[in-house]
């Protein structure tokens, strides 16, 4: 630089450069609303003589996290950095991640997906100083830098971002380690059971609840469980005796987003959290000697009916994008992409 100020540490890392607008603390945010993707369910619910008529809802092991919506007032094109302060840390802590950052009018809207049932997270939000109108409360103590246009680029009175560590993360390949084909089992498990990717946080405080992190979600995966049941035989009932045959196919799926937590021993952990879950089924039953439709089911034609049911399970007019959230089968996207996590401490900004 021909003029200005550049401050470096012993490692040659730039701490302050007057040419660039630094991120400064603006505010803590609590959520303005919370929602969940609706249950995606479809299938015949009639009664049958022999065929099972259940289960007809989501399994309790299909995760579907809360989506907390935050509104951040910052009129500028540069996105805010919103650090998540989780409601809990440790081996039972919920996973949470920012799944959407979008500009709405003069505000930014931030969505945080978090494991259902946990207390809401708090956001610590930072903006580049050229997008901050916060008051410095008239104090004249501190340190400022200016760029060549005379604009402030760093102001210690506005609590500049201080980082204790940054970690390059990736996401596991899949959220659930079980196989898709579950035979005739209807007590399925699509919970997040993969071993998370764990990273040591350098300079971590002894109180892990002080840790805040910025690591927006980019990875997602979609997995399903498929069950098929059938039977045939003769039902003795005097003059009303009959032959029967039935078949039922069930498909459960969960769409997961990459999510993070501060685990035990101050490890930063990368895994998934359920974003949307669905269950569709199709049942066919004949109480005569005609087995044509049952044979069709047994030959796999049920997949067509299931596919149609997946489409029918989609919803509209909810607080999230409509759709079936079944964009691909038993695979993931963006999981191998490097995703930097920036770690700081909440106590720096109180």
Partner 1 sequence: MSYGLEIFDSSGNETFSSTDTTWTLLGVYTSNANTSTNHANVPTMPTRIVSRLMVDQVAGDDEAFVHTFSLSGSTLTTTAPSSSETVKTVFMVFGK
- Least CB distance from residue 326 to partner 1, whole Å? 7
The DSSP code sequence of 15-49 is EEETTSPPEEEEEEE--SEEE-PPPEEE------S
Q: How many Cα neighbours within 13 Å face the side chain of 110?
A: 31
Q: Cβ(201)–Cβ(165) under 8 Å?
A: yes
Helix (H, G, I), strand (E, B) or coil at 127: strand
Least CB distance from residue 285 to partner 1, whole Å?
31
213 three-class SS = strand
**Which of 68, 83, 124, 325 is close enough to bind partner 1 by CB under 8 A?**
325
Q: Does 200 bind partner 1 (CB under 8 A)?
A: no
Q: Is 238 helix (H, G, I), strand (E, B) or coil?
A: helix
Closest to 346 measured CA to CA, from 28, 22, 24: 28
Question: Pick from 28, 56, 147, 166: which binds partner 1 (CB under 8 A)?
Answer: 166
Interaction between residue 346 and partner 1 (CB under 8 A)? no
Instruction: Compare residues 246 and 256 and give the one whose CB is closer to partner 1.
Output: 256
The residues with which 247 forms a beta bridge, in sequence order, are: 230, 284
Q: Which stretch binds partner 1 (CB under 8 A): 193-201, 246-254, 299-307, 318-326?
A: 318-326
Q: Tell me 75's DSSP state.
A: -
Burial of 107 (0-12, 13-18, 19+ CB in 10 A): middle
Could you tell me which residues are beta bridge partners of residue 100? 111
Q: Which of 64, 85, 220, 226 binds partner 1 (CB under 8 A)?
A: 220
Nearest CB to partner 1, comparing residues 99 and 125: 99
Kindly state whether residue 223 participates in binding partner 1, applying the rule CB under 8 A: no
- The reply on whether position 148 binds partner 1 by CB under 8 A is no
Asked if 199 is part of the footprint of partner 1 (rule: CB under 8 A), the reply reads no
300 counts as binding partner 1 under rule CB under 8 A: no
Other C-beta atoms lying within 10 Å of the C-beta of residue 158: 21
The answer to whether 70 touches 76, Cβ cutoff 8 Å, is no
Q: How far is the CB of 18 from partner 1 (least distance, A)?
A: 10
CB of 156 to partner 1, least distance (A): 4
Tokens at 267, concatenated: 């490890």
Q: Which of 194, 218, 298, 307 binds partner 1 (CB under 8 A)?
A: 218
142 touches partner 1 (CB under 8 A): yes
User: Is residue 326 involved in binding partner 1 (CB under 8 A)?
Assistant: yes
Interacting residue ranges for partner 1, rule: CB under 8 A:
7, 9, 12-17, 19-23, 77-79, 81, 99-102, 128, 139-143, 156-157, 159-164, 166, 168, 214, 216-218, 220, 257, 276, 314, 320-328, 333-334, 337, 339-340, 342
């Amino acid at each position: 630089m021909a003029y200005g100020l550049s401050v470096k540490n012993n490692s040659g890392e730039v701490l302050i450069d007057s040419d660039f607008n630094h991120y400064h603390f603006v505010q803590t945010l609590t959520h303005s609303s919370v929602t969940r993707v609706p249950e995606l369910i479809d299938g015949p619910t009639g009664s049958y003589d022999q065929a099972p008529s259940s289960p007809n809802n989501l399994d309790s092991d299909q995760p579907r996290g809360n989506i907390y919506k935050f509104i951040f007032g910052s009129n500028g094109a540069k996105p805010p950095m919103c650090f998540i302060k989780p409601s809990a840390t440790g081996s039972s802590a919920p996973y949470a991640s920012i799944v959407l950052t979008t500009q709405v009018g003069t505000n930014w809207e931030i969505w945080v997906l978090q494991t259902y049932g946990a207390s809401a997270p708090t956001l610590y939000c930072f903006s580049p100083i050229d997008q901050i109108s916060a008051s410095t409360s008239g104090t004249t103590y501190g340190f400022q830098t200016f760029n060549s246009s005379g604009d402030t680029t760093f102001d210690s009175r506005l609590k500049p971002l201080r980082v204790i560590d940054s970690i390059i993360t990736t996401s596991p390949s899949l959220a659930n380690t079980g196989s898709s084909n579950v035979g005739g089992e209807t007590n399925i498990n699509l919970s997040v059971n993969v071993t998370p990717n764990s990273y040591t946080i350098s300079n971590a405080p002894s109180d892990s609840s002080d840790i805040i992190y910025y690591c927006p979600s980019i990875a997602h995966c979609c997995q399903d469980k498929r069950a098929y049941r059938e039977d045939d035989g003769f039902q003795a009932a005097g003059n009303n005796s009959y032959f029967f045959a039935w078949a039922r196919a069930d498909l459960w799926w969960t769409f997961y987003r990459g999510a993070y937590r501060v685990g035990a021993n101050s490890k930063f952990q990368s895994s998934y959290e359920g974003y949307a879950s669905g269950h569709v089924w199709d049942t066919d039953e004949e109480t005569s000697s005609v087995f044509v439709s049952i044979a069709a089911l047994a030959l796999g034609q049920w997949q067509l009916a299931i596919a149609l049911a997946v489409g029918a399970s989609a919803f509209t007019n909810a607080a999230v994008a409509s759709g079936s959230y079944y964009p691909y089968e038993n695979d993931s996207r963006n999981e191998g992409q490097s995703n930097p996590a920036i770690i700081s401490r909440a106590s720096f900004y109180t």
